[in-house]
Chains A and B, each alone.
Chain A
Amino acid sequence: MSMLTPQVGDIPLPDPGPISTPYWQGCREGVLRFQRCLDCGAPTHTPALLCAACASMNLEWVDSSGRGEIYSWTRVWRPVTPAFITPYVPIIVTMEEGWSILSNLVGCEDNAVSIGQLVEVEFHHNGGPNDIWLPYFHPRSP
């Protein structure tokens, strides 16, 4: 068992593009943002030009509650590069607003993960040329 924490090594960091810049700016401000369609109301992530439900280009950025539940998980023991400390736990989180995000679980023992577990976002300052704050998720109570 080991306590899961954000990665602090020289991991590959995002290079935001024109579509994703508002998302990463939100992370810098401590807010998880997603896109919502002004025509049909559906949420979209990862950042896109088109609504995932109706292909409208009429999308707005809105703040997420930052809360969700674990949809699936894995626990990695063979790191993708030596920069990653193992074990780490990639998760897919279904957010309260109905969209999905890939992240890592932190703030609990590595064997405490399960599908359906309630989680909440936190942000970790990785820095780099784009001053990146990465969203991670930790367990929460109902």
Chain B
Amino acid sequence: MGHPFRDVAIVGVFNTKQARVLEGYDSQTIALEAALGAVADAGLEPRDIDGVVGGIASNFLYQSRIGPAWRSMSALGIPAVIEGAMAIACGLANTVLIATGEAGSYRQHASTAPWTRPTNEFVAAYGMFTAAEFALMARRHMHMYGTTPESMAHVAATIRNNGHVNPQAVYSGRGPFTADDVLNSRMVADPFHLLDCAMTSEGGTALVLTHADRAGDLAKTPVHLLGGGTDHYGPSYQHPPVWDLGGVRRPDLIAGHVGRRAAEEAFASAGLGPSDVDVCEFYDPFSFELIRQFEAYGFCGEGEGGDYVMSGVIEPGGRHPITTDGGTMSFSHGGASVQLFQRVIRGVQQLRGECISSQVANAEVAMCTGGGSGALFTDVLLLGKDRP
């Protein structure tokens, strides 16, 4: 049997302008701008789309009168990309648009952003939000393995410096940052300082997948899906984020290692391992999560992530450079879903060789991720230049 995604390619990607505030936009308009951008990037017209993923892409379906078409309401990052690819692989659609955007939903900053705040009856009364959820995971790792705030700060400084040199990052030119800058920023939720945390911003993003046989005729070099997987333990931010939370089927796969199974499946499907990954477009809600991911995916052993990120591998020019556009810390964190696609967007740009900053020379394999331990899910997608 051939590779499940052999007949699928990503042919269009687009980020709109990203900013702390996008005046004059709402979520619909910025997402539609992203959709048109991705379609144009592929060298296609709206009428070429016969499948869409996400509620806002569904609006594009109506406005551009390209229905009837295949539609999924999956909207949160890598699972949506996998679902779009499956639709093409199964023959349900030929060309699928995935688009999302957010603007205008978070302008009053007395409270943390709405997407960071749970409503569940067992956490909300205790002042929980995303930073605190992830901090409870990080603190446990520090206790077990001696992981230091300095190693977390090194991760944050590295990612923020990638954004500093990226003209399209919301925080372009804000650096350069040292680990001390991170450690000296005000505390948000111990052990996370302000600069250990994702920002909040606004923006849109979109991508287009099509049949691989058609991809060669389009505007840009096609990028292929070598493998993917999604690991979820349940709803985010409703139950205690316990590092050792396990399941009955694979008791070894605890929540602290969430993403391990997804990575195992992705690597097996690709016939690759961690040493083959040229670009680590890892999701970066908080600095600790990069340390955790390197352990979860098998780049290093359990408890070794802190030393691993300090060993020179994650910086530009290192063997496994991370989050090369600045990620959610510096590039953008456009709301509830936008940034969950942007590791994939950047992975595609890296493999095309078209990044305007921090391009990894001759990158052939990119590992893109989304989620994190504090949210009890992690999704993984392996992208490659070669058709599987």
Name the CB-closest residue of A to B120.
A46
Q: Does B135 contact A (CB under 8 A)?
A: yes
The 8 A CB mask of A14-32 against B (1 = contact, 0 = none) is 1111001000000000000
- A136 and chain B: residue at smallest CB distance: B126
Q: Mark B96-140, 1 if CB is under 8 A from A, else 0.
A: 000000000000001110001101011111111101100111011
- Closest B residue to A13 by CB, please name it: B125
Question: Which residues of B in the span 235-255 have a Cβ within 8 Å of any Cβ on A?
Answer: 238-243, 248
CA distance A39 to B242 in the complex (A): 25
Q: Contact check, B129 vs A80: say whether CB atoms are below 8 A apart.
A: yes
Main secondary structure of the interface of A (DSSP, over half): loop
Q: Is B240 in contact with A102, judged by CB distance below 8 angstroms?
A: yes
Contact of B140 with A78 in the complex, beta carbons under 8 Å: no
In this assembly, does B188 line the interface, its C-beta being within 8 Å of a C-beta of chain A?
yes
B187–A72 touching, CB < 8 Å:
no
B125 CB to nearest chain A CB (Å)? 6
Complex: A31 Cα to B143 Cα, angstroms: 31
Contact B136 A80 (CB under 8 A): no
Partner of A79, one of B127, B239, B240, B241: B127
Say yes or no: is B386 at the interface (Cβ < 8 Å to chain A).
Answer: no
Contacts of B124 in A (CB 8 A): 11-12, 14
CA distance A82 to B187 in the complex (A): 16
Q: How long is the Cα–Cα vector from A90 to B129 in the complex, in angstroms?
A: 10
Q: Which residue of A lies closest to B137 (CB)?
A: A72
Q: Is the CB of A14 within 8 A of B121?
A: yes
Q: How far is the CA of A126 from the CA of B121 in the complex (A)?
A: 14
**Cβ B190 vs Cβ A74 within 8 A:** yes
Residue of B nearest to A79 (CB): B127
Q: Contact check, B126 vs A102: say whether CB atoms are below 8 A apart.
A: yes
Chain B residue with minimal CB distance to A116?
A: B143
Q: CA of A102 to CA of B241 in the docked complex: distance in angstroms?
A: 8
- With a cutoff of 8 Å between Cβ atoms, the chain B residues found around residue A84 in the complex are 127
Q: How far is the CB of A36 from chain B (nearest CB, A)?
A: 17
Contacts from B to A (Cβ < 8 Å): 110-112, 116-117, 119, 121-129, 131-132, 135-137, 139-140, 143, 186-191, 194, 238-243, 248
Query: What residues make up the interface of A, taking CB atoms closer than 8 Å to B?
Result: 7, 11-17, 20, 46, 53-54, 71-82, 84, 88, 90, 92, 100-104, 115, 126, 132, 134
